[in-house]
Chains A and B, each alone.
Chain A
């Protein structure tokens, strides 16, 4: 079993994606099916960008075992008041700055759901959000 850990800062768009990038390298070294790698890193990148765009700081933990990859992204931030609504395609509260960078279409959470075998979102408004994703192989 392998465990990877990354710290993320809200608003840091230059570094958003480095956890996905590092994870991709390790998964490649482990010879995991390229399709599983792609699903994992796309969903992980969406979740990383969400922390950069919507939260203050966060911690990513990736665990790779024999038959699955588990990614947990725990952030301190404003949280999500209505998770059902946030999961809808097109729902976004992204700032104009985030939109200028090519994000904020309200596609991230639906895309994470599409790419992961399991997606769980837990949130306490005013405190933070935890996203857990499982990828089976």
Chain B
């Protein structure tokens, strides 16, 4: 699924990394637990999270995740945006809850990681 479709489905807005808008994502994982995200073995995965801290960016960096959705209308700070930019990631913010965002993407055909 293209990132631009995800943005449209989640009524989301791009925070940074708009050059990745036509990237095609094969699967997704929703979690507020970075401990869990760090155990995943996946490439080209979308991370949906309700956290908006620097740890989600560091976790994504080491786990080779380049596409993140921040749900529940959480806003990331300037330094987080700067770091994500530097690391060539796209960050998008959605007003939907994690359950709603995940449900919509699943119903529209985005595969779960497992």
Contact = CB atoms under 8 A, between A and B. Distances in A.
Interface of A: 13-14, 16-17, 20-21, 24, 34, 38, 41-42, 44-46, 49, 101-108, 111, 114
A105 B36 contact: yes
Contacts of A20: 58, 61-62
Nearest to A92: B35
Contacts of B56: 102
A16 B58 contact: yes
Contact of A42 (B51, B54, B55, B62): B62
11 contacts: A17-B54, A17-B55, A20-B61, A20-B62, A21-B61, A42-B63, A101-B34, A102-B34, A102-B53, A103-B55, A107-B36
Nearest to A105: B35
B58 A45 contact: yes
B33 interface: yes
Given A42-B63, A102-B51, A17 B38 contact: no
